[in-house]
Amino acid sequence: MKIYKNSFFYFVAQWLFMMVSYSSGIAQTEEFKLEIEQLTFGFKHHFFGYIGQCQTIPWNATGRYILALEIEAIDRMPTETEAAAIVLLDTHNQNKLIHIDSTRAWNPQQGTMFYWNPLAPDTQFFFNDKDAESGQVFTVLYDIAQKKRVREFRYKDTPIGNGGVASDGSAFLGLNYGRMARLRLVTGYPGAIDWSKDETAPDNDGVFLVNTQTMEKKLLVSFRALQEMLQEKFPHLNHGGLFINHTLWNRDATRVYFFVRAGWDGKGGDRVNVPVSIHTDGSGLAMHESHIGGHPEWDLGNVLIGIRKNEGERMDDQILYDVDSKQIVGQLGNADMFPKPEGDISLSPNGNMFVNGYSVGSENVYAVYRRSDGAFARSEGISKGQFAGDIRIDPAPRWNRTNDAILVPGIDSNNTRQLFVIRVIPKR
């Protein structure tokens, strides 16, 4: 039985976790250490992608292959026609790189929104691409056994790309990456068509829901509906255009949490950054006054992991936030463990291992916490170079399927961007 499918068992599990977290004298903990290994090398750059999506795992179901992009330059955003190579790292063959396809829909932060298909996780994965002639974004389903694209999700009226795949593989969320590129370049794809650019809050754009089997597409919530909700709270709202970022499925595939934003392009108007949640059947649209950080992660049930910003003080709590009650219901660890809880965070598939990646000077550091017994370790720093802004290298930790390794980015001694793995090793 999956405890997150029943709220009673969820809160029992949370209570047990919190007893460990708050206990000052844990009787027994099996401590672990963190070991770092560099996986990719050479004079080309290799990376997986951005933290902003929940439950994306770089490894396929067997654990043999790791997805990655290979690019020529990291000191700028890609040009409109520049392609990135899609590669597999064969971990059973000295991490040999296998080139399998390419994409024109990518950026240095989010990559191309890789997701192994939950319905065929051994061999199939999703990624985004962009038509070279029309600039229309679409989503691809690729099969490594057949060595080909087995499906393309193209919609001429609304050329959307994948913004996150449901944990049961039933659907993915669709976003207008052209609009995102126009209103905040780092979140979109240069040269992508923005069909709704003439309106600040269009009724034919927003968050889409795409059935992965039938390819049926529907608009889950429109910018117009979001604008109306915002105006109830902010009647004098004035902005240059809404866009959406970080569409996050919960682990039951029943709820989506995302940020409605505006004013991030530096062209004036009000700056908007409002958290919103909605049921995947289209009901329960809700705005949240508590902003729990730029990179939250879903916990079990309908609870998110994020930050609490104390008024006039630093952000010092890694909190648990219930989207139904709109209340903070607990926290993980303490401020010494997680000095920057707004950092990039990720929860392992089994819900027990938690990692927070944050910057210290020119390095990224990773704090790993085991909820079942409170065991904790902090990694050595991994260079993130001097890149900043749209081309910065965020910590972006991603767990494997066996809950004992994390894929992260870093800079090699030759100044190339490469992939590293942090392994969780029990102390003997």
Pairwise CA distance, residues 99 & 92, whole Å: 16
pLDDT score of 9: 44
Query: Which residues 6+ apart lie within 8 Å of 93 measured at CB?
Result: none
Closest by alpha carbon to 286, among 239, 243, 229? 229
pLDDT digits (tens, 9 = 90+) for 360-388: 999 999 999 999 999 999 999 999 988 88
With 0-12 / 13-18 / 19 or more C-beta atoms within 10 angstroms meaning exposed / middle / buried, residue 416 is: middle
Query: Which residues 6+ apart lie within 8 Å of 396 measured at CB?
Result: 48, 49, 50, 51, 344, 357, 408, 409
> Residue 200's CB: how many other CB atoms inside 10 A?
17
User: 393: pLDDT confidence band, cut at 50, 70 and 90?
Assistant: confident
41 and 48 Cβ atoms separated by less than 8 Å: no
Q: Is the pLDDT of residue 214 over 60?
A: yes
Q: What is the DSSP letter of 59?
A: B
10/357: higher pLDDT: 357
The two tokens of residue 382 are 């991994």
pTM, rounded to two decimals: 0.90
Query: What count of Cα atoms within 13 Å lies in the side-chain half-sphere of residue 203?
Result: 1
Closest by alpha carbon to 67, among 76, 58, 54? 58
397-422 mean pLDDT? 96
Phi, psi (deg, nearest 5) at residue 398: -135, 120
157-165 mean pLDDT? 96
Pairwise CA distance, residues 200 & 176, whole Å: 14
Q: Is the pLDDT of residue 57 over 60?
A: yes
Query: Which residues 6+ apart lie within 8 Å of 296 measured at CB?
Result: 246, 248, 257, 304, 305, 306, 321, 345
pLDDT score of 271: 87
387 and 75 Cβ atoms separated by less than 8 Å: yes
Closest by alpha carbon to 151, among 120, 194, 190? 120
H or E element that contains 367: strand 363-370
Phi, psi (deg, nearest 5) at residue 183: -100, -20
Pairwise CA distance, residues 338 & 315, whole Å: 10
pLDDT digits (tens, 9 = 90+) for 61-74: 999 999 999 999 98
251-267 mean pLDDT? 90
What are 158's strand-pairing partners? none
pLDDT score of 315: 58
122-131 mean pLDDT? 98
Q: Is the pLDDT of residue 233 over 70?
A: yes
272/268: higher pLDDT: 272
Query: Which residues 6+ apart lie within 8 Å of 223 measured at CB?
Result: 196, 199, 200, 201, 202, 203, 205, 206, 242
Q: Is the pLDDT of residue 109 over 50?
A: yes
Query: Which residues 6+ apart lie within 8 Å of 19 measured at CB?
Result: none
pLDDT score of 19: 41
The two tokens of residue 230 are 């915002």
What are 90's strand-pairing partners? 65, 96
75-94 mean pLDDT? 95
Query: Which residues 6+ apart lie within 8 Å of 190 measured at CB?
Result: 77, 78, 79, 80, 107, 181
Instruction: Show the DSSP H helices in 68-112 as ranges.
Output: none
Query: What count of Cα atoms within 13 Å lies in the side-chain half-sphere of residue 423?
Result: 8
H or E element that contains 321: strand 315-322
Average pLDDT of the chain is: 89
**What are the strands, taking DSSP E only, across 229-295?**
243-249, 255-262, 272-279, 286-287
pLDDT score of 84: 97
pLDDT score of 290: 84
pLDDT score of 317: 87
Query: Which residues 6+ apart lie within 8 Å of 52 measured at CB?
Result: 110, 245, 246, 248, 295
User: 54: pLDDT confidence band, cut at 50, 70 and 90?
Assistant: confident
347 and 299 Cβ atoms separated by less than 8 Å: yes
Q: What percentage of the chain reaches a pLDDT higher than 70?
A: 91
Pairwise CA distance, residues 353 & 396, whole Å: 15
User: 313: pLDDT confidence band, cut at 50, 70 and 90?
Assistant: low
346/267: higher pLDDT: 346
Q: What percentage of the chain reaches a pLDDT higher than 90?
A: 76
User: 292: pLDDT confidence band, cut at 50, 70 and 90?
Assistant: confident
104-124 mean pLDDT? 95
pLDDT score of 14: 47
pLDDT digits (tens, 9 = 90+) for 3-42: 333 344 444 444 444 444 333 333 345 799 999 999 999 9
Residue type, position 16, single letter: L
**For the domain bounded by 3-426, which CATH number is listed?**
2.130.10.10
User: 140: pLDDT confidence band, cut at 50, 70 and 90?
Assistant: very high
